[in-house]
């Protein structure tokens, strides 16, 4: 928090921000922070996005000419500090009641899916701020969301009638990728208190979104920024380790194999001497019976500034299906407590059919771990591709049933769910498990 306050003061010198009135510059000195509409308008201006879908081919053609503006190597780009990309925006739910409707759920709280959309847009704007050139308004870069590394919720409820502030900045930079940290706070009794912390990774691509493109280096300034930067390095290593140990590539550990075998034995019918007759243990549900599915037609209305489907929209749809799955399973209102490792594997084209499939893959105490798989299909060629895997952790009001896998594939989903649960909720609450 101390770092953020320092950054906030330092932001008055940030040229891009103050010139574009995006945040702590002129608009802030008059006491007003930009809102999400201004964030999206600014993003459209930065990439020169068309407002009419009928113009999109021509606009993409025009963007090709920006290819020559890309840096040939990272070293020629001026280094930036964390404060250079620092942005504060307001979601004025309290002071502008007319915007509430879009954010409301049936319980008269804020829809988390809408917050995911706002975080995604803001994260991209933060990266454009980091890579901003003083010489021109339009950026040759196409900056896309590669990963939602983690979102930790500190509050279960977000109120629909109090102003929300979101702050963020680039916290680590590779060659073409940038880690962004964002914090959301809500006004209570005259002071802003933390609601969630989010870490995203964005990747810069060329104007046609075909190849990676270099981004400005980041030089940490002072011990606090150095710590954040080191944490960014560690996050990268952790992601590589997690992916190397993926159950899609590597066998489960000895402890995990024991978990699976114990569950298997627990489902054998003791009256028959057979590995085939399986019975559901008490207080349990077969994993197969927790599935919910959805379909979206990817209309132009949901496009992003690069004429692909907006990542925030994909997250909102996956989250809402995940929530419905947890709700149907748990039989009471679930609260999201963590989101992690949402990897955007490939862009979703306008016109595709998007198939979403959610299932509960792990439970412990009151916690429900839901996995949502999304794949697209071209309705003409019928080609199918996985685009994302989403992991959401929910908490129910009461203890929930155990999940029991029946097949080897489901057992791997169970272990993967357990790994995600351990990496988010367990590590936050302490390994000795005060879940
Ligand atoms: C009515 C008016 C209408 C107007 C129209 C506009 C309407 C707009 C509405 C407002 C919306 C505002 C939109 C704002 C934009 C939102 C962004 C999106 O939607 S984006 C949409 C959603 N997102 C998408 O669609 C993205 C889909 N995914 C992809 O395209 C690719 O998988 C990729 C580009 C992400 C990576 O490609 P790949 O070939 O694997 O890449 P390489 O091997 O070449 O490595 C390059 C660098 O990337 C790193 N890296 C890679 N993966 C990861 C990872 N998982 N984790 C971490 N890092 C990762 C890797 O380490 C390397 O880093 P470095 O060492 O160089 O530093």
Tell me, yes or no, whether 73 lies in a domain. yes
Q: 52 pLDDT band (50/70/90 cuts)?
A: confident
User: In 3-state terms, the chain is what percent helix, strand and coil (to 5)?
Assistant: 40, 30, 35
Domain identity same for 93 and 201: yes
Task: Give the position, in ligand 1's atom list, of the atom nearest the Cα of 173.
Answer: 67
pLDDT at 31: 62
Distance 185 CA to ligand 1 centre (A): 26
Q: How far is the CA of 330 from the centre of ligand 1 (A)?
A: 34
Q: What is the mean pLDDT of residues 104-123?
A: 97
Q: Are 402 and 363 in contact, with CB atoms under 8 Å apart?
A: yes
Mutate to test the pocket of ligand 1, among 55, 119, 203, 354 (most ligand atoms within 8 A of CB): 203
Q: How many CA atoms does the CB half-sphere of 331 hold within 13 Å?
A: 5
Establish if 6 belongs to a structural domain.
no
What pLDDT is attached to residue 171?
98
Residue nearest to atom 4 of ligand 1 (CA): 51
Host domain of residue 76: 36-243
- Which ligand 1 atom lies nearest to the CA of residue 53? 3
Q: Which residue, judged by its Cα, is nearest atom 52 of ligand 1?
A: 146
- Percent with pLDDT over 70 in the chain: 91
Is the CB of 203 within 6 Å of ligand 1? Answer: yes
For the stretch 265-275, pLDDT in tens is 999 987 776 76
Average pLDDT over residues 384-393: 94
Q: Which atom of ligand 1 is nearest to the CA of 313?
A: 19
Q: Is residue 148 part of a domain?
A: yes
Tell me, yes or no, whether 19 lies in a domain: no
Q: How many angstroms is it from 212 CA to the middle of ligand 1?
A: 9
Instruction: Find out whether the beta carbon of 344 lies less than 6 Å from any atom of ligand 1.
Output: yes
**Where does 65-192 have alpha helices with state H?**
100-103, 112-130
Contacts of 101 (CB under 8 A, 6+ apart): none
Burial 145-182 (b: 16+ CB within 10 A, else e): bbbbbbbbbeeeebbbebbbbbbbbbbbbbebbbbbbb
Residue nearest to atom 8 of ligand 1 (CA): 304
Q: How many domains does the chain have?
A: 2
Atom of ligand 1 lying closest to residue 205 CA: 34
93 and 198 belong to one structural domain? yes
- CA-proximal residue: ligand 1, atom 30 (nearest): 346
**Residue 22 has what pLDDT?**
39
Question: Tell me: the pLDDT tens digits for 228-245?
Answer: 999 999 999 988 888 888
Out of 219, 243, 267, pick the residue that ends a domain.
243
For 338-367, what is each residue's pLDDT tens digit?
999 999 999 999 999 999 999 999 999 999
- Nearest protein CA to atom 42 of ligand 1, as residue: 212
Q: Do both 355 and 234 map to the same domain?
A: no
Tens digits of residue pLDDT in 175-220: 999 999 999 999 999 999 999 999 999 999 999 999 999 999 999 9
* Span 247-261, pLDDT tens digits: 888 999 999 999 999
Segment 171-174 long-range contacts (CB within 8 Å, at least 24 positions apart): 171/82, 171/199, 171/228, 171/229, 171/231, 171/232, 172/218, 172/228, 172/229, 172/231, 172/232, 172/233, 172/235, 172/236, 173/130, 173/215, 173/216, 173/217, 173/218, 173/232, 174/236
| Alpha-carbon gap, residue 22 to 28, rounded angstroms | 9
Which residue from 132, 170, 122, 123 is spatially nearest to 46, judged by alpha carbons?
132
Task: Determine the distance separating the centroid of ligand 1 and the alpha carbon of 73, expressed in angstroms.
Answer: 20
Ligand 1 atom with the shortest distance to the CA of 146 = 35
Q: What is the pLDDT of residue 1?
A: 36
pLDDT digits (tens, 9 = 90+) for 57-99: 888 888 888 999 999 999 999 999 999 999 999 999 999 999 9
Q: Is residue 28 part of a domain?
A: no
DSSP bridge pairs for 110: 104
- The b-or-e profile of 266-290 (16+ CB within 10 A means b, else e) is ebeeeeeeeeeeeeeeeebbebeeb
Q: What ligand 1 atom has the least distance to the C-alpha of 144?
A: 20
pLDDT confidence bin for 8, thresholds 50/70/90: very low
Say if residue 293 is in the same domain as residue 159.
Answer: no
| Whether residue 49 has its Cβ less than 6 Å from ligand 1 | yes
Alpha carbon of 213 to ligand 1 centroid (Å):
11
Of 243, 266, 289, the one marking the end of a domain is 243
Q: What is the ipTM of this complex?
A: 0.94
Q: Quote the CA–CA distance of 273 and 137 in Å, as a whole number.
A: 74
Its pTM stands at 0.90
Q: Does the C-beta of 211 come closer than 6 Å to ligand 1?
A: no
224 and 277 share a domain?
no
Q: What is the pLDDT of residue 426?
A: 78
Secondary structure E strands in 63-141: 87-91
The finding on whether 368 has its CB within 6 A of some atom of ligand 1 is no
In testing the pocket of ligand 1, which one of 37, 54, 57, 146 has its CB within 8 Å of the most ligand atoms?
146
The answer to whether residue 15 is domain-embedded is no
My answer on whether 287 and 393 are in the same domain is yes
259 and 226 within one domain: no
Q: Given pLDDT bands bounded at 50, 70 and 90, which one contains residue 387?
A: very high
Residue nearest (by alpha carbon) to ligand 1 atom 16: 121
Which residue from 180, 181, 182, 186 is spatially nearest to 155, judged by alpha carbons? 186
Residues 323, 413: one domain? yes
- In this structure, is residue 373 part of a structural domain? yes
232 and 275 co-located in one domain: no
User: Can you tell me the distance from the alpha carbon of 110 to that of 308, in angstroms, rounded to the nearest whole number?
Assistant: 27
Task: State how far the Cα of 435 lies from the Cα of 432, in Å rounded to an integer.
Answer: 9
pLDDT at position 371, please? 97
Can you give the length of the chain in residues?
435
Distance linking the first and last C-alpha atoms of the chain: 26
Averaged pLDDT score across all residues of the chain: 89
Query: Could you give the count of Cα atoms lying within 13 Å of 398 in the half-sphere of its Cβ?
Result: 6
Tokens matching residue 386 = 């996985």
Q: Looking at residue 299, what is its pLDDT?
A: 96
- Does residue 27 surpass a pLDDT of 50? no
Whether 276 is in a domain gets the answer yes
| Same domain as 169, residue 209 | yes
Query: Which residue would you say has higher pLDDT here, 375 or 435?
Result: 375
Same domain, 157 and 50: yes
Closest by alpha carbon to 211, among 50, 59, 64?
A: 64
**Domain co-membership, 195 together with 294:** no
CA distance 423 to 341: 10
pLDDT at residue 11, as a whole number: 35
**pLDDT tens for each residue of 131-152:** 999 888 899 999 999 999 999 9
- What pLDDT shows up at residue 9? 30
Q: Check which CATH number belongs to the domain holding 346 and give it.
A: 3.10.129.10
Number of neighbours of residue 104 by Cβ within 10 angstroms: 15
Among the candidates 243, 275, 292, a domain finishes at 243
- Token pair in block for residue 353: 């059919």
């Amino acid at each position: 928090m101390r770092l953020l306050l320092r950054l906030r003061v330092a932001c008055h010198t940030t040229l891009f921000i103050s010139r574009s009135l995006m945040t702590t510059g002129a608009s802030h000195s008059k006491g007003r922070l930009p809102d999400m509409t201004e964030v999206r308008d600014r993003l459209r201006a930065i990439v020169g996005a068309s407002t009419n879908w009928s113009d999109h081919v021509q606009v993409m053609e025009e963007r090709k000419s920006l290819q020559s503006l890309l840096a040939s190597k990272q070293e020629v780009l001026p280094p930036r500090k964390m404060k250079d990309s620092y942005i504060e925006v307001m979601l004025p739910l309290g002071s502008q009641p007319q915007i509430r409707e879009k954010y409301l759920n049936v319980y008269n709280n804020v829809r988390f899916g809408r917050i995911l959309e706002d975080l995604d847009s803001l994260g991209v704007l933060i990266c454009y701020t980091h890579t901003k050139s003083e010489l021109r308004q339009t950026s040759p870069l196409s900056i896309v969301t590669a990963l939602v590394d983690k979102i930790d919720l500190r509050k279960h409820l977000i109120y629909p009638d109090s102003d929300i502030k979101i702050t963020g900045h680039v916290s680590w930079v590779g060659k073409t990728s940038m880690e962004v940290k964002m914090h959301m706070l809500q006004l209570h009794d005259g002071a802003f208190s933390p609601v969630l912390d989010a870490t995203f990774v964005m990747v810069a691509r060329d104007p046609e979104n075909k190849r990676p493109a270099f981004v400005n280096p980041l030089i940490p300034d002072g011990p606090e920024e150095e710590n954040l930067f080191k944490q960014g390095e560690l996050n990268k290593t952790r992601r590589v380790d997690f992916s190397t140990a993926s159950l899609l590539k590597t066998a489960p550990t000895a402890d995990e194999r024991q978990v699976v075998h114990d569950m298997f034995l627990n489902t054998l019918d003791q009256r028959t001497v057979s590995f085939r007759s399986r019975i559901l243990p008490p207080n349990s549900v077969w994993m197969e019976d927790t599935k919910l599915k959805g379909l979206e037609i990817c209309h132009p209305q949901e496009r992003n500034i690069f004429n692909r489907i907006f990542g925030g929209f994909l997250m909102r749809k996956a989250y809402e299906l995940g929530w419905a799955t947890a709700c149907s399973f748990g039989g009471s209102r679930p609260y999201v407590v963590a989101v992690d490792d949402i990897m955007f594997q490939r862009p979703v084209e306008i016109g595709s059919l998007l198939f979403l499939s959610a299932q509960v893959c792990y439970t412990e105490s009151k916690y429900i771990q839901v996995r949502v798989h999304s794949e697209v299909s071209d309705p003409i060629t019928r080609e199918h591709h996985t685009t994302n895997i989403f992991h959401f952790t929910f908490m129910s009001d009461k203890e929930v049933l155990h999940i029991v896998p029946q097949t080897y594939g489901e057992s791997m989903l169970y272990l993967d769910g357990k790994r995600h649960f351990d990496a988010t909720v367990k590590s936050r609450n302490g390994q000795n498990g005060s879940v």
